[in-house]
Chain A
Amino acid sequence: MTVNIENLRYAYDKKGNETLLDIPRWNIAKGEKVLLHGPSGGGKSTLLNLISGILRSSEGKLEVMGERLDKMNERERDRFRANNVGYVFQSFNLFPFLNAYENVDLSLYFSQDAKPKGSKQEIENLLSELNLSKSDCAKPIRKLSIGQQQRVAIARSLIKKPGLLIADEPTSSLDEENRNQFMSVLLDLINEQDTTLLFVSHDLSLRPHFNRAEALAGINQGKTI
């Protein structure tokens, strides 16, 4: 089981008057590819932040890859995330002051305690596998197209071979061609590495790529605004 949630509750305001998330039970099996969808403001990103350990739940059980995140302190959750969770956003996935190669390398830096130090070669191989030329990888990020940037983001999040990849609307700013390319390289790598995928999108045309599609409203009993 990669994600195992029981009676998880989360509220931004400390008094807990308005519980945003209240999930009695939700699981994601290892290697599963899940599409999570729902209206904006529903709490999808919040749930992803809980699962990755950026936010901490106040109540309930949250187990990710066999580890009780709700029992960890902040430092342990940071370490856990660095080693086990890849993250791709809709935008701003890369540091603008680093080039593609350096962005991927930095992500490896934070996880290097748990994994053998990734070689330069490994990074270059992955980037070329993602159709990024050597010269593109040495360019400043802003000189790359959005499509290229999102592919570097895939490399950045998968270089450390995480058990779980979280993607928060990663295709929302891509055109159809780039979106298809993005999905195909992502899924190839995911399958290759046997990574569990939790993918948030409102684009239901992506449904065929996944084992399962889930509406947040279907699992969440919390109050939505």
Chain B
Amino acid sequence: MVFLGLAFKSLISRRGSVVLTCLAMTVSIFVILGVEHIRTQAKESFYNTVSGADLIVGARTGSANLLLYSVFRIGSATNNVSWESYSDITADDRVKWAIPISLGDSHKGYRVMGTTLSYFEHYSYGKKRNLKFANGKPFHDLFDVVLGSQVAKNLGYGIGDQITLAHGIGKTSFSMHDDKPFRISGILAPTGTPVDQTLHVSLQGIEAIHLDWQPGSRKSGPEVNSLVQEDLAIKSVTAFILGLKSRMTTFEVQREINEFSQEPLLAILPGVALAELWEMINILEGVLQLISYLILFSALLGLAAMLLASMREREQEIKLFRAIGASPSFLFVLIQVEALIICGSSILIGSACLLLGLGVTKEKLSANFGLYVEANIFSTNSVLLLSLVVIATVAVASIPSLGAYKQARSVT
């Protein structure tokens, strides 16, 4: 095509300023695509933390707080839910399944969570994806533990390894005569959610950890090997997740739990709470977007300035184009094509750099920030953004294009 060839050769003859303009556009497209991609990925991975749950229930607190400790395993509950209340509520006809969550312990900085086998059956994340085992199987014994994928990977644990689980968060202060009683029975496949950072034991396992086994004060406590069911009676859970038989009953059950007479409880809708929490933590989102748009705008202005400055040198060219029979609209299109070539190559280079950058930093992002970013940057949104960039380029390039058009018409 004549336009492409001409525009390309003309650009090459002015490569100095063209390369700089292209660079500015490339950086802006890199930033705008990068911000958009990470923003949507962060949001998606946030919203995908838990799915398929109808209600999350805990002691009365803020809904954000309940969501944070029950789902994100950040912070801790001020109060627990008594086992009686848990049993009452989950015995209700409208409840299909329940996953108890018992928190408060840790292992080398990773949270330990007590739950039941119901967790492996009903907990889901993303688009209703259930937990899968990469290795091994759920806990069956009191001292079985199931690891999240990151825990196993980062601590180098495998099936059958024996580990110590401590009471309290963040320290390993507890010992007993058999100081590594827990055995790894299973390792979960990666989920990209806080599940990956969690160690899972049975509710009784949590009670076992809580028994006062500190040396010196242990004389009244039972021997580990002779623990009996009564010693491990479960007194409370931290929170629980409910699945209902019918979605229609969600609000009704929620209200009843919130008005529960035995103790003050809070039931939240995970979707609503996630949206509220996202609103709270995403203040940066808008600012980042604004900045990336401003960068694009300035790059576009640079493009227009470069093309406009070149028009002065090209007065003679325009005259020659006219003499050999080119119409003014030919010149208009030619300048537009030049701008679009710059825009197109910037899009290509910018996206390639972003793809490469994400490929390289993907691991670090997930390890350090728990941010799971897909390398595929071409979502509907980013394609839309790029179309916007192209349209903006055409708009901005109209300034020099119209200049060329006018000059062509008044040429002598």
Contact = CB atoms under 8 A, between A and B. Distances in A.
A45 B9 contact: no
A78 interface: yes
Given A45-B412, A54-B411, A92-B320, A97 B325 contact: no
Contact of A110 (B9, B316, B319, B324): B324
Contacts of B411: 49, 54
A78 B327 contact: yes
Nearest to A153: B320
Interface in B1-48: 2, 6, 9-10, 12-13
A97 B120 CA distance: 69
Contacts of A100: none
Interface stretch (A81-89, A131-139, A169-177, A188-196): A81-89
B323 interface: yes
A120 interface: no
B227 interface: no
Contact of A106 (B6, B322, B327, B412): B6
**Interface range, B side:** 20 to 34
B326 interface: yes
Which residue, of B12, B325, B326, has the highest number of chain A Cβ atoms within 10 A?
B325
A75 to B, nearest CB: 6
A107 interface: yes
Which residue, of B322, B324, B328, has the highest number of chain A Cβ atoms within 10 A?
B324
B325 A79 contact: yes
Interface string A45-85: 11001001011000000000000000000110011011100
B317 interface: yes
A178 interface: no
A110 B13 CA distance: 22
Contacts of B326: 78, 82, 110
Given A54-B412, A97-B10, A97-B12, A110 B320 contact: no
Given A55-B412, A97-B10, A97-B13, A92 B328 contact: no
Contacts, number: 59
B107 to A, nearest CB: 68
Contacts of B12: 97
**Interface range, A side:** 20 to 34
A9 interface: no
A95 B325 contact: no
Given A45-B412, A54-B412, A83-B325, A93 B9 contact: no
B6 A96 contact: no
Contact of A98 (B9, B319, B412): B9
B319 to A, nearest CB: 7
A26 interface: no
A109 interface: yes
B9 A111 contact: no
Contacts of B13: 96-97
A161 interface: no
B84 to A, nearest CB: 86
Contacts of B320: 89, 92-95
A89 B323 contact: yes
Contacts of A96: 13
A156 B320 CA distance: 11
A83 to B, nearest CB: 7
Given A96-B13, A109-B2, A82 B324 contact: yes
Nearest to B323: A87
A78 B412 contact: no
Interface in B281-337: 316-317, 319-320, 322-328
Contacts of B322: 54, 78
Contacts of A78: 322, 325-327
A107 B320 CA distance: 10
Which residue, of B10, B317, B323, B412, has the highest number of chain A Cβ atoms within 10 A?
B323
A79 B317 CA distance: 19
Given A54-B412, A97-B9, A97-B10, A74 B328 contact: yes
9 tightest Cβ-Cβ pairs between the two chains A and B: A82-B325, A97-B13, A110-B325, A87-B323, A92-B316, A78-B327, A97-B9, A107-B324, A97-B10
Interface of A: 45-46, 49, 52, 54-55, 74-75, 78-79, 81-83, 87, 89, 92-98, 102, 106-107, 109-111, 156-157
Given A78-B326, A78-B327, A97-B9, 7 more contacts: A54-B411, A87-B323, A87-B324, A89-B320, A89-B323, A106-B2, A109-B2
